[in-house]
Chain A
């Protein structure tokens, strides 16, 4: 289990992140801290800026202003809402996204994901659930310090969702910090330890999950939770 000392450390800090597109302010002075070894959920309505913020924290987008202090690039991984899959076999895709990871280890990950008999199948011919599993194990196999997940279970059935959640728990138990977005309240309550609530590009509330769901501190949060 993660120790208290570990969880009190910050693994990522963002200060005054601003991002605009076509004159519209999409992220407005967002400052936040992610605690090491925690599962942090980023919640908000569609269009609130969750995916944008996740991409900024991961360093995929150039900031208009502000800063992000995060682990080095090779210690971070991100799984996208729509998995980005290479035009190769499933094993070939894994080899590409996990350079340096031993073949036997990759085979083991595929077995754990229940897709070991799909090793030689074209990765893009796998079902949506299998592709998301492939993307997730591709991120986990490199044992990142921090893992960003953008609605990883958005289009998955019950079994695939359970697999993803089990993998998240396991990664968390081995010390990986998780930052993820979801529209699924029960998932956030099941897994979340910290919650950040974003509304219209602004960070409205940051609180431990228990506090956030039982006693939200902001009127916008209460309104959101009524709808969720």
Chain B
């Protein structure tokens, strides 16, 4: 395989707007971005609570959450599979081999990241703002809302880390999605399939496309971060 061939294939695929490729990119982005949004929605308030309050069971919760940071995607895929397969407790939902199952698997995968990183960010901010919040007599909800707002630039970085982890994983979505053409095939499972079929140049080209997609997302977030930097964020 010529070193430049994958680049040529990648450019051709993108230039031609190959419908199948576009639908795969679209599904990859939809699944990963939904998973990231869901994990942030759950993880950020949890991170803020863990950072701002001391309560019984807090330390075990942190340890469990941190343990999940090292969980292999394939194990998470297997866990979700067992839960949503026909014989599993949530089998009645009938979501196995659907994008919904892939979103759930990726949410579980990135949730510990959003909790751990947001807790760290909120702990630093809470240390800084606690005297002011206390002085102003703010209630719990107002404090958490204010912390989330003040941490908005850092949260953008956390979202990017989560997105990077979600869009690049293959094990979990392969197990619960099944890599079904026109249905649950995403960039990473396409790359795995092309590699297994010996289409190495095509697989590499898909990898380049995946990187380009990640590049576009990062450029957009950098533009947003530059605008936030003006508001005193260390980004």
**Is B169's beta carbon under 8 Å from chain A?**
no
Q: Give a binary string over B213-232; 1 marks a CB under 8 Å from any A CB, 0 the rest.
A: 00000000000000000111
A87 with B137: CB separation less than 8 A: no
Task: Assess A122 versus B137: contact at CB under 8 Å? Given A80-B131, A84-B131, A96-B146.
Answer: no
A123 with B131: CB separation less than 8 A: no
**Is B2's beta carbon under 8 Å from chain A?**
no
Q: How far does the alpha carbon of A60 sit from the alpha carbon of B136 in the complex, in Å? A: 10
B232 with A122: CB separation less than 8 A: yes
Q: How far does the alpha carbon of A80 sit from the alpha carbon of B153 in the complex, in Å? A: 25
Candidates A78, A80, A97, A124; contact of B231 at CB < 8 Å: A124
A86 with B150: CB separation less than 8 A: yes
**Is A38's beta carbon under 8 Å from chain B?**
no
Q: How far does the alpha carbon of A88 sit from the alpha carbon of B129 in the complex, in Å? A: 13
A60 with B131: CB separation less than 8 A: yes
Question: Which residues between 149 and 190 of chain B lie within 8 Å of chain A, taking CB atoms?
Answer: 150, 152-153
Q: How far does the alpha carbon of A28 sit from the alpha carbon of B129 in the complex, in Å? A: 28
**Is B58's beta carbon under 8 Å from chain A?**
no
**Is A116's beta carbon under 8 Å from chain B?**
no
- Interface of A, secondary structure class, is mixed
Candidates B128, B152, B230, B233; contact of A84 at CB < 8 Å: B128
Candidates A74, A80, A89; contact of B137 at CB < 8 Å: A74
Q: How far does the alpha carbon of A76 sit from the alpha carbon of B137 in the complex, in Å? A: 10
* Closest-CB distance, A43 to chain B (whole angstroms): 22
Q: How large is the interface on A (under 10, 10 to 19, 20 to 34, 35 or more residues)?
A: 20 to 34
**Is B132's beta carbon under 8 Å from chain A?**
yes
Of all chain B residues, the one with the shortest Cβ separation from A97 is B136
Question: Which residues between 99 and 144 of chain B lie within 8 Å of chain A, taking CB atoms?
Answer: 128-129, 131-132, 134-137
B231 with A122: CB separation less than 8 A: yes
Q: How far does the alpha carbon of A102 sit from the alpha carbon of B146 in the complex, in Å? A: 20
Candidates B129, B131, B135, B232; contact of A77 at CB < 8 Å: B135
Chain A residues with CB under 8 Å of B146's CB are: 86, 96
**Is A58's beta carbon under 8 Å from chain B?**
yes
Task: Assess A84 versus B231: contact at CB under 8 Å? Given A58-B135, A60-B134, A96-B146.
Answer: no
B135 with A87: CB separation less than 8 A: no
Q: How far does the alpha carbon of A74 sit from the alpha carbon of B136 in the complex, in Å? A: 7
B230 with A122: CB separation less than 8 A: yes
Q: How far does the alpha carbon of A74 sit from the alpha carbon of B129 in the complex, in Å? A: 18
* Closest-CB distance, B140 to chain A (whole angstroms): 15
Q: How far does the alpha carbon of A97 sit from the alpha carbon of B129 in the complex, in Å? A: 12
B135 with A60: CB separation less than 8 A: yes
* Closest-CB distance, B126 to chain A (whole angstroms): 12
Question: Which residues between 197 and 217 of chain A lie within 8 Å of chain B, taking CB atoms?
Answer: none
Chain B residues with CB under 8 Å of A73's CB are: 137
Task: Assess A87 versus B131: contact at CB under 8 Å? Given A73-B137, A96-B146.
Answer: no
Q: How far does the alpha carbon of A86 sit from the alpha carbon of B129 in the complex, in Å? A: 8
B132 with A88: CB separation less than 8 A: no
**Is A168's beta carbon under 8 Å from chain B?**
no
* Closest-CB distance, B73 to chain A (whole angstroms): 35
B231 with A87: CB separation less than 8 A: yes
* Closest-CB distance, B164 to chain A (whole angstroms): 25
* Closest-CB distance, A10 to chain B (whole angstroms): 22
Chain B residues with CB under 8 Å of A125's CB are: 230, 232
Ordered by A's residue number, 15 sampled pairs between the chains whose C-beta atoms are within 8 Å are A58-B135, A60-B131, A73-B137, A74-B137, A76-B135, A77-B135, A78-B131, A84-B129, A84-B132, A85-B232, A86-B150, A87-B153, A89-B231, A123-B232, A124-B232
Query: Which residues of A pack against B, CB within 8 Å?
Result: 55, 58-60, 73-74, 76-78, 80, 84-89, 96-97, 122-125
Which 7 A-B residue pairs are closest in the complex by CB-CB distance? A124-B232, A73-B137, A84-B132, A122-B231, A87-B232, A78-B135, A122-B232
